Amino acid sequence: MATSSFNKDFTLNTKKAVESFERIISTPKKGIKINKNLVSAEKERRGEQKLKQILSR
């Protein structure tokens, strides 16, 4: 479904809603750390080979 079909407008009708929205916006996001040790060089090489095979079709 196209995103243009969704209504993106929203209204904060109460003071509580405004405060909640401000709290959400002002709270810094916590980053997710990715353990790069989970992917070995061999797995990375196999993944690249599979990707090349798929793209060459």
Query: With b meaning 16 or more CB within 10 Å and e meaning fewer, what string describes 22-57?
Result: eeeeeeeeeeeeeeeeeeeeeeeeeeeeeeeeeeee
Q: Are 12 and 23 in contact (CB under 8 A)?
A: no
pLDDT at 49 over 90: yes
Q: Measuring CA to CA, how many Å separate 9 from each of 3, 5, 6, 12, 14?
A: 13, 12, 9, 10, 16
Domain map of the chain by residue range? 15-56
**Tens-place pLDDT, residues 14-47:** 999 999 999 988 988 888 887 777 788 888 899 9
Which tens digits make up the pLDDT trace of 2-16?
556 666 777 889 999
